Structure 1
Amino acid sequence: MSSQPEKPVNTDNIKAPEDSWRPNYVSGDLFSCPEDEALAHCISEDCRMGAGIAVMFKKKFEGVEELKGQKKLTGQCAVLKRDRRFVYYLITKKKAKQKPTYDSLTQSLEDMKSHCVVNGVTRISMPRIGCGMDELQWSTVSEKLEQVFKRTNISVTVYSLPEKEKKEKKEEKEETKVMKENMRRWKN
């Protein structure tokens, strides 16, 4: 044995075993993630973004015409560059009122991964994509994420609203629904 201290090993180029990739989970506001992390969410080809978290992306990052100009189809990923980050718009369906498939989601994730690799993106934050208004099952979506990203050095952080905020949003949605119904009755 040598009495000299061992040199530190550079682990930057060592890839983790395939079966060790997992998304990181955070309870909180997606938009509070570090400003140099990419963001991702799902939209339709028509770029409507009129409900759910898509409304917040539309308000915060604008660029609807820029997205439409990219002429991306279902299974592809449109991209905006905002300050120090890329914002990924996973095109998972043709029209806003339709539902995505796991195949269209997977294809759009693959397209996003390709952009990440080419542009050196190693960290992405996202909501539980496809599982809100699009009604996909998170257990299956998380498997798709793992399949797509397991051989990369790209980490994915998945944000969920704290239970209190989820409850408040649900109550707010119900209140709006009741108000609209009352207004409809009042007008008639």
Structure 2
Amino acid sequence: MAACEDENENSSNKNDGDTSFSVIHKKGDLFTCDFSESLAHCVSKDLRMGKGIATLFKQNFQGLSELKAQAKDVGDVAVLKRDERFVYYLITKSRYFDRPTYETLEDSLKAMKTHCVTNNVKALSMPKIGCGLDKLEWDQVEAILTRLFQDTGIVITIYSF
């Protein structure tokens, strides 16, 4: 599995046991990562996706009716299958203008983790989820992400420009 290359790559293995788990930070375009890597981002239950990186997910992967048909609630994850990868829509708030909480983000991440483990996902790429328009603090989000995924062996790549 090839990962996106970047001169500014920063990797940190935050697990003493399973050394295959890691969080890698890369500068660059999330959508240039390898097609074998699954993708994730945060959305509202109303699935408006009218601002930020969500608009790019909406354009690149379509499937709005497929997502709506899943009828997911806050704290869940909606999933699209595109070729060999999954695209995860973490439902962290009710309406597009609401703000998520760390609790709703954690619930959505738990749901995504379950899907990843069940479906043998080995690599997951995402932006600094919940930290752009949603205004959560990255240090807290990364701590949640690490705590939840450290026993999975999944390589998580975080993209930023």
TM range (shorter): 0.7 to 0.9
Q: What per-residue deviation string (whole Å, max 9, x for no partner) do you get for residues 100-159 of structure 1?
A: 000000010000000011111011000000000000000000001011101111110000
- Which whole-Å CA distance do the structure 2 matches of 1:124 and 1:33 have between them? 10
Q: What per-residue deviation string (whole Å, max 9, x for no partner) do you get for residues 40-59 of structure 1?
A: 00000011000000000000
* Runs of 4 or more above 6 Å deviation: none
- Which whole-Å CA distance do the structure 1 matches of 2:29 and 2:80 have between them? 20
Note if 1:99 corresponds to 2:99. Answer: yes
Q: Which has the higher contact order (CA 8 A, sep 6+)?
A: 2
Letter in 2 for 1:122: K
- Which whole-Å CA distance do the structure 2 matches of 1:134 and 1:23 have between them? 21
Note if 1:61 corresponds to 2:74. Answer: no
Report 1:64-103 matches (<5 A). 64-103=64-103
Report 1:32-181 matches (<5 A). 32-161=32-161
Q: Could you say what the CA RMSD is over the residues aligned between the two structures, in angstroms?
A: 1.6
Q: Is the 8 A contact 1:37 1:125 kept in 2?
A: yes
Letter in 2 for 1:98: D
Q: Which has the larger radius of gyration?
A: 1
Write 1 or 2 for the structure with the bigger share of strand.
Answer: 2
- Which whole-Å CA distance do the structure 2 matches of 1:19 and 1:29 have between them? 26
Q: Is the 8 A contact 1:19 1:150 kept in 2?
A: no
Letter in 2 for 1:84: E
Q: What per-residue deviation string (whole Å, max 9, x for no partner) do you get for residues 46-80 of structure 1?
A: 11000000000000000111101000000010000
Among the aligned pairs, what percent are the same residue? 51
Letter in 2 for 1:95: R
Write 1 or 2 for the structure with the bigger share of helix.
Answer: 1
Report the TM-score, using the length of structure 2 for normalisation.
Answer: 0.88
Q: Is the 8 A contact 2:75 2:90 kept in 1?
A: yes
Partner in structure 1 of residue 24 of structure 2 = 24
For these two proteins, the number of residue pairs brought into alignment is: 147
Q: Which runs of 5+ in 1 are unaligned?
A: 1-14, 162-188
Q: CA deviation at 1:22?
A: 3.9
Distance 1:19 1:85, change over 3 A: closer
- Which whole-Å CA distance do the structure 1 matches of 2:140 and 2:18 have between them? 18
